[in-house]
Amino acid sequence: MVERHQKQIRLHGFNNLTKTLSFNIYDICYARSPAHREEYLAYIDEEYNADRLTNILTNVADIIGANILNVARQDYDPQGASVTILVSEEPILSEEKIHASASARPGPYPEDVVAHLDKSHLTVHTYPESHPDNGISTFRADIDVSTCGRISPLKALNYLIHSLESDIVIMDYRVRGFTRDVKGKKHFIDHKINSIQNFLSPETKRNYSMLDVNVYQENIFHTKMMLKEFELDNYLFGLGKNDYFEKDIKQIEMQLRKEMKEIFYGRNTGSL
C-alpha cells in the first residue's frame, strides 16, 4: 500500500522533479459492413472531438491542482483530434494584482513568474482506425500528463481510465531530474511508489488483468491492463447480438478477444 503520511522534505528553492504519466487507451468494436465501419469512425470522431477532449483535460488539471495557462486544440479530416494544454503548479499572478503592488512595478519579481512551462503540460491525440476485412475497428487515444513540482499526475489515473471507454490501457510513469533539500542533498523522487497499480481504484483492479514491468532504480514504472470480461452487445456497431447466428457470435467474440490480446502483449498471434 502507498504510504499516505510522509515526513515532508524541506527543499531548497523550486522542486525540479518532472513527473510524466503516459497512457495508450484502446477501445475496440466490431462493425461488419463498410457502412457500419464508416458510421463507427464518424461516431468516434464526434464522441472524442477536440471540444470534449479539452473538457476532459481541463478536469484533469483541476484534479491534479494545476493552473491552465494555454489551450491549443485541433480536429482533423478525415478523423482524429489533438489537444495540448500548458499548465503551471503555482497560482498565476493576475495583471490586476501586479499593478496593484507598487513593489512589483513595472513587472513582477522573479519569484512571481511561473517557470518550467515546457515541462508542465497535458496532451491527447486520437487515432481511430478499422480493418477492411475482418470488421474489427480500434480507437486509440494517447494521453500525456507531465508536471513539474509537487503536483502529481497519478491523481488523474482513475478519472482518465473511466472517462474513455478502455478495453486496453497501457501506462508509463517516470520521474526525471532531481531536486535538492536545504542541505544540498539530491532527491531523485519525492514520493513512495512500487507500482502504478497502487494508485488504481479497487473497482479498476477487479475489472482488469494487469501486468507490470518496472525499473525501480531508474524510477520508471510500466503497467498494462486488459478488460477481463465484456458484454458483446456493447461491442457491436450497426447490428445487435440478436442479428447474428450463434456461430457468428462465437467467431466475433474470438476476434475481439484476439485483438485485445495482441494489443496487450504487443505482438501478433496469428490467424484464428
The residues carrying an active-site annotation are 120, 125, 148
**Residue 192 amino acid letter:** K
Q: Is 225 exposed, middle or buried (0-12, 13-18, 19+ CB in 10 A)?
A: buried
Q: What are phi and psi of 217, to 5 degrees?
A: -70, -15
Length of the chain: 272
- CA atoms of 12 and 28, how far apart (whole Å): 48
**Residue 83 amino acid letter:** V
Considering only CA atoms, which of 186, 178, 119 is closest in space to residue 148?
119
Continuous H helices in the chain: 34-47, 50-64, 95-100, 157-163, 202-207, 246-265
- CA atoms of 233 and 29, how far apart (whole Å): 10
- CA atoms of 58 and 53, how far apart (whole Å): 8
Q: In sequence order, what DSSP letters do the residues of 28-71 get, joined into one string?
A: EEE--SHHHHHHHHHHHHHHT-HHHHHHHHHHHHHHHTPEEEEE
